[in-house]
Structure 1
Amino acid sequence: MTRVRLRDLGITIGRYKTGTHNSITDIPGVMVGHVTLSDKKENGCTVQTGVSAILPHPDNVFREKVLGGAYVINGFGKTVGTIQLQELGLIESPILLTNTFSVPAVSEGTLRHLLHQNPQIGDTTGTVNVIVGECNDGYLNDIRGLHVKPHHARQAILSAKSGVIEEGCVGAGTGMSCLGFKGGVGTSSRVASFGTEQFTVGAFVVSNFGLKKDLRPPRGDWTSCSEQEEKMPDGSIMIILATNAPLNERQLSRLAKRASFGLSRTGSYAAHGSGDIVIAFSTAHRIPHESPPHPKRIPFTFLREDGDTISRLFEMTVDTVEESIWNSLCKATTTEGIHGRVREAIPYDMLLGGTS
């Protein structure tokens, strides 16, 4: 059976319309690439993992940076690069996502890609801040095998595209579990008019949190699961937000905070061992790497926080994060992993308020 997205089931989230593809790639210039590693080795180990890359624009991100912000809902995670992002409010590399133990390899691969693009890094100019996020896919994946290599990161970056992107068991989402079922990659977007302008907010998630008992369906009531569930780590989620609205880095950090509301709607309560990290960026402005001539001013304009405009963007963010999570579940297929473990695809009637 072909797996479908949430809206194909007749379920809509919120009052705003979606972009053309209902995807983070509805923000002009944003691209996504995946490398999926799914294989059963001769030694019996099962590989279910991968890498996903989100590019703020198709050009050289180090040379033309974008404004960004980050928010830690719960900090049980191993991200790279978010400290400098929070300090300076700039993103100067593609954003890469993978499994927990593959953060070093993916960081190296992303760094090598940027060094190849920019021979001056570390020589005639400064260093570069690579951003890598992770979730633990060790329930299904032979995570100890360190199967993700540096070249997979570069491959994910080079394969990035706009338009329709794959969801479910792909890229960084290949081995993930969510709310007791098979999780993975999901995306969604919202579009609204603000006077004479139109702004889009998009989300991209790698979902890996919660148990069946936590699930809160988007439609109807569902009696909490009474079956005994296997004890699992608390899980995690990576949430990437993009918008073409002209927000500054402080406003983007505020936007990132609102992702927590979309996450909580699905059943998450950010458990003790859950790494719940949000990274947000705007494509409205590009900041050149070289300093301009004196006086060193860059003439940018940003949205005024008059209440209504920023609040509507917050609401759009909440809705798109929630739908992205549901899409990650809807598109994921039943997957067999290491030690014969299986994660079943979520039955659609659960999302419709059933009890299967």
Structure 2
Amino acid sequence: MSIDRVRSRDLGVAPGNGTPGPTNTIVDVPGVRVGQVTILEGTRLHTGVTAIVPDAVDVPGGRMPAGLFVGNGYGKLVGATQLVELGEIETPILLTGTLSAFRAADALVSYVLSNPGNESVESLNPVVGETNDGFLSDIRSRPITEAHVLEALRTASTDPVEQGCVGAGTGTAALGFKGGIGSASRVVDLGEHGSCTLGVLAQTNFSGTLTVHGVPITPQEGLSTPLANDAVPQGNSCMLIVAIDAGLDARQLTRVATRAVFGMAQVGSDFAQGSGDYAIAFDTGPTVPVPDAQLNPVFAAVQEAVAEAVLDSLFLATTTTGFHGHTKHAVPLDFVLEKCAAAGVLNR
């Protein structure tokens, strides 16, 4: 049996019982847009840019509360220290390949400085995350240009986020299989404080054993193709971007970002020494007092959404042969379905 690339929810193995938003992606959160540029050149280049653009920072002087959690700091997250110090972001967030992060940051500065109303800006904190796509792409060539970044930023929209081998996930690998970009959302009931929407976008490139509802899925079991060129890739990292419209402050958003990284454990991350695991959480709503005691539903929702976003980044990715003939195989969804059915954990 061969199953088309589908999301975990369509396969019947979506994590948790929460209610997704209309597109089940991060753009379900009001005021958030996503743009992506995918770069493919034969087998040499498999990379790209993913831009997360909150409307509130895409205006002159725009800022919004944000929090950062570093699960492991083996990474090159541009702009991290000021984000922590001030508890805010003042630019869109970019994701790309490791050695292109610095060129992307420069291009992001150019984008913001060129926007009307920013003629007097003399200091700026660009935020750029990365994972190492050097197993499938010629990372040393640093192929990301200003034009790529500007295209991702200027085409950002509220259309459902494309997932799998796109943008910053074009050349990534995770949990033994081809990784990519994944996204999910949850509508969260805050009781007397009403409801909010939480969305996650994940760039997956980390190690461990893919785990679906507690069922391990390994390449050795699930693939009939020999794994001679399917070795462990360079770099094992994950970038998680969380958006919410609950009106949380920076301290509370840091707590949300912490739980986002915890969510990686549900799908099998081994949190290896060389894995740069980061989560950035920001809030698009007007800041209102939300007691910490009311945050438990948010904590549960963000872990659920992270787990689903990671699964979807793999389930929608396709087998890719890249630089030096290296190959990362797509998760065999028929095998996932078979194992989960046998374990009695299908939820459709």
Aligned pairs (5 A) from 1:154-233? 154-195=150-191, 197-211=194-208, 214-218=209-213, 220=215, 225=220, 230-233=231-234
Task: Check conservation: 1:49, 1:171, Cα contact below 8 A.
Answer: yes
Counterpart secondary structure, 2:15: coil
TM-score after normalising by structure 1: 0.88
What residue is the counterpart of 2:109 in the other structure?
A: 111
What residue is the counterpart of 1:33 in the other structure?
A: 35
TM-score after normalising by structure 2: 0.89
What residue is the counterpart of 1:323 in the other structure?
A: 308
| 1:10, distance to aligned residue in structure 2 (A) | 1.3
Q: Label 1:274 to 1:188 Cα distance change in 2 as closer, same or farther (>3 A).
A: same
Q: Does structure 1 residue 139 correspond to structure 2 residue 135?
A: yes
User: C-alpha separation between the residues in 2 aligned to 1:319 and 1:114?
Assistant: 34
What residue is the counterpart of 2:267 in the other structure?
A: 266
User: C-alpha separation between the residues in 2 aligned to 1:169 and 1:232?
Assistant: 16
Q: Which runs of 5+ in 1 are unaligned?
A: 286-299
Name the stretch that deviates more: 193-202 or 332-341: 193-202
Letter in 2 for 1:324: A
Aligned pairs (5 A) from 1:12-31? 12-31=14-33
Aligned pairs (5 A) from 1:291-306? 300-305=287-292
Counterpart secondary structure, 2:205: strand
Runs of 4 or more, structure 1, over 6 Å off, are 226-229
User: C-alpha separation between the residues in 2 aligned to 1:151 and 1:282?
Assistant: 29
Letter in 2 for 1:8: D
| Deviation by residue 1:172-200 (Cα, 9 ceiling, x = unmatched) | 00000111111000000010233362211
User: C-alpha separation between the residues in 1 aligned to 2:96 and 2:165?
Assistant: 13
Q: Label 1:190 to 1:231 Cα distance change in 2 as closer, same or farther (>3 A).
A: closer
| 1:218, distance to aligned residue in structure 2 (A) | 2.7
What residue is the counterpart of 2:93 in the other structure?
A: 95
Task: Check conservation: 2:212, 2:267, Cα contact below 8 A.
Answer: yes
Question: Pairwise CA RMSD of aligned residues?
Answer: 2.1
Q: Label 1:239 to 1:347 Cα distance change in 2 as closer, same or farther (>3 A).
A: same
Task: Check conservation: 2:240, 2:261, Cα contact below 8 A.
Answer: no
User: C-alpha separation between the residues in 1 aligned to 2:8 and 2:90?
Assistant: 33
| 1:254, distance to aligned residue in structure 2 (A) | 0.4
Q: Which runs of 5+ in 2 are unaligned?
A: 222-226, 341-348
Percent of pairs identical after alignment? 40
| Deviation by residue 1:213-257 (Cα, 9 ceiling, x = unmatched) | x22223646579478873443510000000001100000000000
Name the stretch that deviates more: 344-353 or 224-233: 224-233
Q: Label 1:116 to 1:350 Cα distance change in 2 as closer, same or farther (>3 A).
A: same
| Deviation by residue 1:67-98 (Cα, 9 ceiling, x = unmatched) | 10101000000010111000001111000000
| Deviation by residue 1:104-159 (Cα, 9 ceiling, x = unmatched) | 110111111001005645xx444111000000000000111111112211110001
